[in-house]
Each structure stands twice: as C-alpha cells, then as structure tokens.
Amino acid sequence: MITAERKPLDEILELVGDKKKVLVAGCDTCVAICLTGGEKEAEILASELRILAEKDGRAIEVEHTAAIRQCEWEYLDMIAEKVEAADVVLSMACGIGIQSLAEKFAPQLVMPAVNTNMLGMPQEHAVWLERCVACGECRIGLTGGICPVVRCSKSLMNGPCGGSHDGLCEVTGPEKEEIECAWALIWERLKAQGREELMFTERPPKNWSKSSSGGPRKMVREEAKPV
C-alpha cells in the first residue's frame, strides 16, 4: 500500500497562509489504513487548525471531508461541492490523490498536508516497511522474493557490499534504526530454496528506463478500454 506521513503543523499553516475558508480533504483508502489521512485524521487536523486560529485570534472557517478514493474521478464528484466552496483545500491523500484533486478542480488551490513516502508493507500494527519502488522491471524471482532495488541501500544487483555485518546494513535509517542487509536475507532465502547458484550468476545493468528515469510512465490496457 501507499503510505504517507502528515506534514508538521507549521508547514501546513504556511501552506494555508491567509486563506479564510479551508477544507481538509482526507482519503479513505491507503492513507486511512496507515492512520495518516483518512476521514478521522482529516477531522483531527481541521480541529487543530480551528483551535490554533482561535488562540491566535484569526477568523478562519475549517471544514473536513473525505473521498473514498481521491485518485478516482467519480469519488471526487462526491466531494465537489465542498471543494469548490473552499479558498484552499488541504489534501491528506497520497501524491496521486492530491494531484487528482488538483487536476479535477483546477485552478482550485490544493495543498499537500502529508508527505507520501513509500510503497510499504504493514509489518506489524503501526509499522510499515518499504517493499517496492515501482521500478518497472521486477526481478525478485531471481532474489528469493526480496527486492534488492529498494531493500539494499545501494540498490546492488550482484550481492552484498563490504558493509554487511551480522545481517545488518552499514547504513542506519533516518531515526538511527537498524536496517537488515537485503543481500544477507536473499542469501538465506536462496539457501532455503536450494537455489544458491542464483547468487553467483552475474546480473547485467538494470534497465532504469522502465523506472521514473525514463520519464513519467503511462499504462494503457487496450483490451479494457470501452468499445
């Protein structure tokens, strides 16, 4: 799923600026599951903005709403009235939802209230781990179902670098958390599968043109198009 984190309140206030009618628009799909931008979180942010405005003596009107999915046109129709009535919309959807909203109601002012951060897997309650970067050329069939592009800090394709120690990467995460060495995991998985030889086959340079390096991507399913 797509995960996101709410921006700091100061940054959100800066995005709102001197606008008087604010709509906080949540999305009830991915960002709701990761407890960041669903209807409940939109309501909380709206309350925070109202309390702050009252404290500072600013006249501001804050409403909240949520679309079932902000990334689909038909669900946006359902919140159209509120969006059009606002001076600024603070979207709590992922980057796709925010842009869909901005495109659908252009030139309405739509601001991001969250930072979309990854395609993550819920490892346990309230913990998400990055598992995919949508590189457009999946090779995890060769690596025991573990993606080295996203899980190796250097996106190595041919085995662990010299910084792998006790199953850990030499790099620590932004909060100084330990990161598992993807290649140590891959090696253990391949051994368990009896496919060790895959480790020693040279993998050629990756075709990054299928990733975002190739420019914005587009997918068309001709067979699914309306006749």
Partner 1 sequence: MTATEYKAGSNLEKILREGKFAVTGECGPPKSTDVTVIEEKAKILTGYVDAVNITDNQTAVVRVCSMASAYTAQQNGLEAIMQMTCRDRNRLAMQADIMGASTLGIKNVLCLTGDHMSFGNHPEAKGVHDLDAINLIKMYKDMRDEKKFQCGEEMPLGPPLFIGCAENPFADPFELRALRLKKKIEAGADFIQTQCIFNVPKFKKWMEEVRALGLHKEIKILAGITPLKGVGGARYMQKFVPGIDVPQDIVDRMAACEKGAPSQAEGKKIAVEMIKEFAEIEGVAGVHIMAIEWEIAVPEIVEAAGLMPRPAVV
The answer to whether the beta carbons of residues 161 and 167 sit under 8 Å apart is no
Q: Where are the beta strands (DSSP E) in 86-206?
A: 88-91, 110-112, 114-124, 127-132, 168-172, 178-180
The rounded distance, in Å, linking the Cα atoms of 85 and 51 is: 21
Binding to partner 1 (CB under 8 A) within 203-222 occurs at: 203-206, 208
Find the largest Cα–Cα distance for the chain: 69
Applying CB under 8 A, among 19, 40, 154, 189 the residue interacting with partner 1 is 154
First and final CA of the chain: distance in angstroms?
31
Q: How far is the CB of 108 from partner 1 (least distance, A)?
A: 32
Residue 75: closest CA among 39, 42, 104:
104
Nearer to partner 1, 58 or 165 (CB): 165
- Candidates 3-11, 18-26, 36-44, 166-174; binding stretch for partner 1 (CB under 8 A): 166-174
Q: Does 132 bind partner 1 (CB under 8 A)?
A: no
Nearer to partner 1, 123 or 213 (CB): 213
The rounded distance, in Å, linking the Cα atoms of 93 and 104 is: 14
Q: Does 135 bind partner 1 (CB under 8 A)?
A: no
Nearer to partner 1, 95 or 159 (CB): 159
Q: How far is the CB of 169 from partner 1 (least distance, A)?
A: 9
Give contact residues for partner 1 (rule: CB under 8 A). Answer: 153-167, 170-172, 181, 184, 187, 199-200, 202-206, 208
